[in-house]
Amino acid sequence: MNLVILTGRLTRDPELKFGQSGKAYSRFSLAVDRPFQKGEADFINCVAFGKTAELIGEYLRKGRKVGVQGRIQMNRYEMNGEKRTSYDVLVDTVEFLESKGGAEDSSYAGNYNEGYQRAAEPVKSAPVGNDFEDDEFPF
């Protein structure tokens, strides 16, 4: 079973792009606090497709708290003659965990434990299928 569930804050504004077929995809990174290690976080690369990607690109910005569910995928590629490996979470669903003004009102300055707002009602996106071409997207 390949299942990933994460809660964290966006480290930058999401990139919303469209493939050659016109299908949307969005890349973003989440800062996820490490349990029992105050002040430390892991930075997880994520990618979403279709309507989920469009929602992320339209409504989410740096510092916003979200929950994502998806699966992990390993990517191998070559850069400057050196073989590399990267890991991305392919997002199936996303939940907005604070109100729209929550991140703007918070004192977000890289410290992920301060300035959290009370969670708003989660907004769930529709699950995303795997109906895309592998060489359509540049990763």
Residue 105: half-sphere exposure toward Cβ, Cα within 13 Å: 8
- pLDDT 10s digits, 46-92: 999 999 999 999 999 999 999 999 999 999 999 999 999 999 999 99
pTM: 0.69
Q: What is the DSSP letter of 52?
A: H
Q: Which two structure tokens, joined as six digits, stand for 35?
A: 């349990």
